[in-house]
């Protein structure tokens, strides 16, 4: 399936919704504005993987993809975050 580069934010949201539905994603999807404000702010071109921690701060910033991806480092970060989340509260 060929997808044209969206020229409006509404078109971009429609493409994202179609991709989400086609991939049967169950996670939230955020769509950057048409000026790519977030992509530019986070130097996320062509791809970059981030994990946002429970405090709302960046817990992991991967290298520029696809060659800069480090799945092992990302997995380690996720495991650490999940371990902290599931640890019993200290009195």
> Which token pair is 86?
């599931």
Regarding pTM above 0.75, the answer is no
The DSSP output letter for 56 is S
Model pLDDT, residue 91: 61
Q: Supply the pLDDT for residue 90.
A: 65
pLDDT block averages, 10 residues each, the chain of length 91:
90 94 89 93 82 90 83 92 75 61
DSSP class of 76: H
Give the model's pLDDT for residue 2. 84
Closest Cα to residue 50, out of 67, 69, 31? 69
């Amino acid at each position: 399936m060929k997808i044209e580069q969206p020229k409006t934010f509404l078109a971009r949201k429609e493409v994202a919704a179609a991709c989400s539905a086609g991939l049967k994603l169950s996670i939230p999807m955020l769509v950057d504005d048409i000026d790519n404000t977030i992509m530019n702010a986070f130097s996320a071109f062509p791809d970059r993987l981030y994990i946002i921690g429970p405090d709302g701060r960046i817990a992991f910033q991967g290298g520029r993809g696809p060659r800069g991806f480090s799945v092992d480092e990302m997995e380690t970060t996720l495991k650490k975050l999940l371990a902290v989340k599931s640890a019993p509260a200290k009195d």
